[in-house]
């Protein structure tokens, strides 16, 4: 599958991969700064942004999509940075192509409980079933399902010209695959896990799974940050990344 992407800067390539319900713009704050020293490639995963849609959505096929892009662009010595679902795609990609380093932002190589995003899934399903195109009505439904204002604003970034940029139907149907993870053989690639101190996406109990699959791992916790740590603590994340990249 040919993915939509955006390139900035020169030198060593850094591929930035967004999370669920997002798009390549979600990591703009990192790409804008990193592109001063590196070539940044932001990508829309399948069923997101301007990339094609498909009825199949799991980490193997998503990683294969990104691998195809890397081969098409003839990228060498690639650094992968992925947030949430994009972090899992980056980790899976280590099994397919040569990679220099990997950074997974607030995600672990484990299977997640499918209830984590159930309010979002239910709200989107209702909006689609009712064929809502009015933003106020969509916001009302999301609030009824208990979604917070930041979550609603994030989702609405992908609502353009009265339709969703992400393939909500397939995401809902394939959500069990998005939560899932198949343990991989130990990978010695230098890997950085950035954990939001207030997030429950990486817990201490996940550390054995992290180190068994990625033994050459460094874990950094940014206190006071939640799941979208790159947006809430951009400068701290960038400082960690620059230190990690040059070592």
Residue 19 has pLDDT above 90, yes or no: yes
Tokens (6 digits) for 73: 């662009």
Q: How many helices (H) and strands (E) does the chain have?
A: 11, 9
Q: Is the pLDDT of residue 58 over 90?
A: yes
- For domain 5-110+183-246, give the fold: Rossmann fold (3.40.50)
Q: What is the pLDDT of residues 120-157, one digit of tens each?
A: 999 999 999 999 999 999 999 999 999 999 999 999 99
pLDDT at residue 116 in the model: 79
Contacts of 45 (CB under 8 A, 6+ apart): 3, 17, 18, 51, 62, 65, 66, 85, 86, 89
Give the mean pLDDT of 33-56: 97
Of the candidates 35, 84, 94, 158, the residue annotated as catalytic is 84
pLDDT at 115: 77
Query: What pLDDT, on the 0 to 100 scale, is given for residue 117?
Result: 87
Q: Is 158 a catalytic residue?
A: no
For the chain, where do the domains classified as CATH 3.40.50.1820 start and end? 5-110+183-246
Q: What percent of the chain has pLDDT over 90?
A: 97
pLDDT tens per residue, range 67-124: 999 999 999 999 999 999 999 999 999 999 999 999 999 999 999 987 778 999 999 9
Q: What was the pLDDT predicted at 209?
A: 98
Q: How far is CA 28 from CA 6, 22, 38, in A?
A: 10, 12, 14
* Predicted local confidence at residue 247, as pLDDT: 86
Q: What percent of the chain has pLDDT over 70?
A: 100
Q: What is the pLDDT of residue 114?
A: 79
Identified catalytic residue from 18, 48, 227, 230: 227
- Whether 100 sits among the annotated catalytic residues: the reply is no
At residue 20, φ and ψ (nearest 5 deg) are -60, 140
Q: Which of 238, 230, 19 is nearest to 112 (CA)?
A: 19
């Amino acid at each position: 599958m040919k993915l939509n992407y955006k390139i900035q800067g020169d030198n060593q390539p850094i591929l930035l991969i967004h999370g669920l319900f997002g798009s390549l713009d979600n990591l703009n704050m990192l790409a804008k700064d990193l592109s001063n020293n590196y070539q940044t490639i932001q990508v829309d995963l399948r069923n997101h942004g301007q990339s094609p849609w498909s009825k199949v959505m799991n980490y193997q096929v998503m990683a294969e999509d990104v691998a195809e892009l890397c081969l098409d662009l003839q990228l060498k010595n690639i650094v992968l940075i992925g947030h949430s679902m994009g972090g899992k795609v980056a980790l899976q990609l280590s099994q397919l192509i040569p990679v220099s380093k990997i950074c997974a932002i607030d995600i672990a190589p484990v299977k997640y409980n499918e209830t984590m995003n159930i309010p979002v899934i239910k709200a989107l399903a209702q909006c689609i079933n009712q064929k809502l195109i009015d933003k106020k009505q969509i916001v009302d439904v999301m609030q009824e399902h208990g979604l917070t204002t930041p979550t609603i604003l994030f989702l609405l970034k992908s609502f353009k010209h009265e339709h969703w940029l992400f393939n909500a139907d397939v995401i809902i149907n394939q959500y069990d695959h998005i939560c899932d993870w198949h343990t991989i053989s130990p990978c010695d690639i230098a890997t950085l896990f950035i954990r939001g101190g207030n997030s429950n996406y990486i817990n201490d109990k996940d550390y054995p799974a992290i180190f068994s699959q990625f033994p050459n791992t460094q874990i950094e916790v940014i206190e006071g940050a939640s799941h979208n740590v790159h947006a809430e603590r951009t400068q701290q994340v960038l400082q960690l990344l620059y230190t990690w990249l040059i070592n």
